[in-house]
């Protein structure tokens, strides 16, 4: 097959990570992003950027372009459904330049990143699906399908930023463990609610959790439900579901008119992905392709941006040395694996304590949240972890959360 085009870097996937990485590299190298979708699909959800993701955007020279499309939140108040305030988590106590959450709509973030990537000369090919990568001594060749045409590109390196079901990962035959998370989610966007400016809310009870976060021009709502319950929920009807949300937070009742059918609500059954090796000769993976996790910590996009920030430096060193081997790319994996493993495990633990139907786990989770809200030292430790600023808890910290 004739080579359709040659590039320094080909990135598979035009999500947040692929676009951020492409933007950072496009000022020095020729970069092609291939994307299976025919266009940006308007999101039905929000996305929360925390301190680690915001810091990564700053390193990538993207933060000031992204900040205007988001809403800052410095407090997340946790309530027991039908009960009292358990904790008011104050992100402003973090000793960090970005001591807040920036919540935005993912498709709007993609538009900003695409625009900046294109301004640097980067190329995006939509409706193009990855099929195969074949390693040669001086390049890697990608076979792709674009509409009805089979095409082949060559590159010095390929990056798989194509999500939890990554075709690049499968094509590289990397050892992978995938399991479905026990908690599923509904995501939706409602009209704005003034009382949420600067302070988001999360409500939970045994087997139930709901969050309300401000986004530009609206309110981002997420709703937890145990696996296998979606059909029962839909059978009760959309009006019954909206009434349930209004019963949990009455102020939202007249803001749900944007939700007119189940098509306005995204249903997600998240997966947890762990990969034995993140890199191979002339190939690397980032984001959900290597470490998809439970959404409980809202860290997926943040970790992806951190991956991109580190991978930029590693790829530049590969071009300087001419070494695109797995060994040459390993520094990226070494720099990122410890923290991503920590956050995956802590997200699993948080889900067990806050999105649980188990009476004891729910009781314990409630006690930990209440204790964290009352103790500034514990709150700082918890927020540093959930904001992606540390990669471990000391034994003393672990004990203080539960004793």
Tens place of pLDDT for every residue, the chain, 403 residues? 567 899 999 999 999 999 999 999 999 999 999 999 999 999 999 999 999 999 999 999 999 999 999 999 999 999 999 989 999 999 999 999 999 999 999 999 999 999 999 999 999 999 999 999 999 989 999 999 998 899 999 999 999 999 999 999 999 999 999 999 988 999 999 999 999 988 999 999 998 999 999 999 999 999 998 888 999 999 999 999 999 999 999 999 999 999 999 999 999 999 999 999 999 999 999 999 999 999 989 999 999 999 999 999 999 999 999 999 999 999 999 999 999 999 999 999 998 888 888 999 999 999 999 999 999 999 999 999 999 999 998 867 776 665 5
Rounded Cα–Cα distance for residues 130 and 160 (Å): 10
Please give the structure tokens belonging to residue 398. Answer: 């672990």
Rg (CA), the chain: 21
Concatenating the DSSP letter of every residue in 101-149 gives: EEEE-HHHHHHHHHHHHHHTT-EEE-SEEEEEEEE-SS-EEEEEEETTE
Structure tokens at 288: 């959900």
For the chain, the first-to-last Cα distance in angstroms comes to 65
What angle separates helix 300-321 from helix 51-59, to the nearest 10 degrees? 30
Q: For residue range 19-65, what is the model confidence (pLDDT) as tens digits?
A: 999 999 999 999 999 999 999 999 999 999 999 999 999 999 999 99
Q: Looking at residue 193, what DSSP letter applies?
A: -
Tally of residues, the chain: 403
8 Å CB contact between 353 and 61: no
Q: Which helix (H) or strand (E) holds 80?
A: strand 71-80
pLDDT the model gives residue 3: 76
How many C-beta atoms surround the C-beta of residue 158 within 10 A?
30
Query: How many whole angstroms separate alpha carbon 128 and alpha carbon 134?
Result: 17
């Amino acid at each position: 097959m004739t080579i359709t085009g040659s590039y320094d870097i080909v990135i598979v996937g035009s999500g947040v990570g692929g676009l951020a990485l492409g933007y950072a590299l496009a000022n020095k190298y020729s970069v092609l992003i291939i994307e299976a979708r025919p266009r940006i699909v308007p999101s039905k959800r929000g996305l929360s950027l925390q301190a680690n993701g915001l810091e990564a955007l700053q390193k990538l020279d993207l933060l000031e372009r992204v900040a205007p499309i988001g809403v800052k939140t410095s407090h997340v108040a946790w309530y027991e459904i039908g009960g009292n305030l358990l904790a008011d988590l104050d992100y402003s106590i973090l000793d960090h330049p970005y001591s807040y959450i920036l919540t935005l709509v993912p498709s709007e973030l993609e538009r900003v990143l695409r625009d900046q990537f294109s301004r640097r000369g980067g190329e995006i090919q939509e409706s193009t699906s990855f099929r195969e990568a074949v390693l040669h001594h001086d390049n890697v060749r990608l076979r792709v399908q674009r509409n009805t045409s089979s095409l082949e590109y060559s590159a010095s390196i390929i990056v798989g930023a194509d999500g939890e079901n990554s075709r690049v990962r499968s094509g590289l035959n990397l050892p992978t463990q995938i399991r479905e998370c026990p908690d599923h989610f509904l995501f939706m966007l409602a009209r704005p609610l003034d009382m949420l400016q600067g302070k988001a809310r999360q409500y939970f009870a045994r087997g139930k959790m709901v969050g309300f976060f401000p986004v530009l021009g609206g309110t981002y709502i997420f709703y937890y439900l145990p696996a296998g319950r979606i059909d029962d929920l839909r059978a009760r009807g959309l009006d019954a579901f909206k009434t349930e949300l209004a019963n949990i937070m009455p102020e939202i009742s007249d803001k749900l008119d944007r939700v007119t059918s189940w098509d306005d609500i995204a249903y997600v059954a998240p997966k947890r992905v762990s990969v034995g090796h993140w890199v191979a000769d002339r190939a690397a993976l980032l984001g959900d392709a290597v470490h998809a996790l439970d959404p409980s910590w809202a860290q997926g996009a943040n970790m992806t941006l951190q991956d991109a920030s580190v991978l930029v430096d590693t790829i530049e060193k590969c071009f300087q040395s001419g070494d695109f081997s797995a060994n040459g790319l390993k520094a990226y994996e070494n720099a990122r694996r410890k923290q991503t493993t920590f956050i995956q495990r802590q997200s699993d633990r948080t889900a067990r304590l806050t999105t649980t139907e188990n009476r004891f786990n729910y009781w314990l989770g409630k006690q930990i949240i209440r204790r964290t809200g009352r103790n500034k030292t514990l709150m700082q430790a918890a927020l540093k972890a959930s904001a992606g600023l540390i990669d471990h808890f000391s034994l003393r910290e672990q004990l203080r959360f539960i004793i």
